[in-house]
Amino acid sequence: MARLQLQSALRNPLNAVFGVDANVVVLRELARHGGALAASEIVDRSGASKSSIRLGLLALEQLGLVVSEGTRTTRLHRFNRDHYFAPTIEALFEAETQRFQNILDAVRQAAGSLPEVASLCLFGSAATGVDRVESDLDILLVVAGPDVGKPAEMLRERLRPAASSLGFNPSVTGLSIDDVGRLQRDHDPWWQEAIGQFVVLAGDHPEVLTGKARRRAGG
């Protein structure tokens, strides 16, 4: 792999600020919290390793973006809002949060006027927070009626503009309430994994729908 040519630290300081994942994680947690946090609290909030957070804090202290106070055993860290780049960095993280909220709102809006929506959920890696750049946004659409294909296709079409502007790839799975009941009765492996992942955007949680499906089957 070709190595980048060394660039000026004065002209290109953001290379050092954002060039390491741990730096971004530390900045995000401190900027969003707004106060002082111990390193262990940053680890708990972010899920990152102790060693990476420690290195991130050291690097950001050197850059002046993090201010650390206290003794070695009770050391607290805060985002330096007096730093030249602080307002811009905070705005970036606010935009990051707002983008995800806009994606959720776009999915809700696209499904808003679809007929007989019983449940609208996220599942998969985006729901559990382990998605990558190439990951799809997995969406479950459960409808009360027997016609699943048409509402699912309508949702896909309606999401195209938002997907393009916000930069995500929606993958819609359509099911009927009866399908949900069958998957539950059969202990379907996919369903058993997905049931613990669902983030409900509209309607009922799919677990509630399994009870409705049983009542439908029993007449």
pLDDT in tens, 171-213: 999 999 999 999 999 999 999 999 999 999 999 999 888 776 6
* DSSP per-residue codes, 128-189: HT---TT--EEEEEEESSS--HHHHHHHHHHHHHHHHHHT--EEEEEEEHHHHHHHHHTT-H
Tell me which amino acid residue 86 is: A
Mean pLDDT of 146-168: 96
Q: Is the pLDDT of residue 101 over 90?
A: yes
User: In the chain, which segments carry CATH 3.30.460.10?
Assistant: 98-217
In the predicted model, what is the mean pLDDT of the chain?
A: 92
CA distances from 166 to 24, 102, 161 (A): 21, 8, 9
- Fold entry, domain 14-84: Arc Repressor Mutant, subunit A (1.10.10)
Question: Given this model, what pLDDT does residue 88 score?
Answer: 97
Cα distance between residue 164 and residue 77, in whole Å: 38
- Fold entry, domain 98-217: Beta Polymerase; domain 2 (3.30.460)
Neighbouring residues of 84: CB distance < 8 A, sequence distance ≥ 6: none
Cα distance between residue 185 and residue 214, in whole Å: 9
Cα distance between residue 66 and residue 51, in whole Å: 17
In percent, how much of the chain has pLDDT > 70? Answer: 94
Question: Given this model, what pLDDT does residue 217 score?
Answer: 58
The model's pTM: 0.88
Question: Given this model, what pLDDT does residue 71 score?
Answer: 83
Cα distance between residue 101 and residue 133, in whole Å: 17
User: In the chain, which segments carry CATH 1.10.10.10?
Assistant: 14-84
Tell me which amino acid residue 200 is: V
- Please answer whether residues 117 and 141 qualify as being in contact, where contact means their C-beta atoms are separated by less than 8 angstroms: yes
Mean pLDDT of 29-35: 96
Q: How confident is the model at residue 102 (pLDDT cuts 50, 70, 90)?
A: very high
Question: Given this model, what pLDDT does residue 214 score?
Answer: 63
CA atoms within a 13 Å half-sphere pointing along the CA-CB vector of 207: 9
